[in-house]
Amino acid sequence: MDPRPEAALVLLSTAPSVERARELAAALLDGRLAACVQILPGLESHYVWQGVREASSEVQITIKTSQQRRREIEALFAERHPYGVPELLALEPVFVEAKYLAWLRQSVAPEPGP
């Protein structure tokens, strides 16, 4: 189990297009895995892949969630992300405003069972 499962978490990722980013955002929100997903087009990434320097246009994805939901998001990305090696970086905020944190926790809380 992750330490502090109720802690807020910001996940950063990228996608090859706005359409693919929107598909991932919908899956995250529909599954209550994220409280908010921000899609920022116009990113230019420079990196080395398999020994070759590359550059590509991408879309930045910022996911607001809880530590408790991180592993489920990892699984969703492994299954549905178009990249073979998707970026998924987790940042734990130093501070989160109390009302925002309460909303975030409520938004990602699993639905009660029958």
Domain ranges of the chain: 8-108
The architecture that CATH gives domain 8-108 is 2-Layer Sandwich (3.30)
CB-count burial class (<10 Å; 0-12, 13-18, 19+) for 85: exposed
Walk along the chain (114 residues) in steps of 10 and give the mean pLDDT of each run: 74 97 98 97 95 96 96 96 95 94 94 66
Q: What confidence score (pLDDT) does residue 4 get?
A: 73
pTM of this prediction exceeds 0.85:
yes
Left, alpha or beta for 3 (phi > 0: left; psi -120 to 50: alpha)? beta
Q: What confidence score (pLDDT) does residue 6 get?
A: 77
Residue 64's beta-bridge partner residues?
10, 36
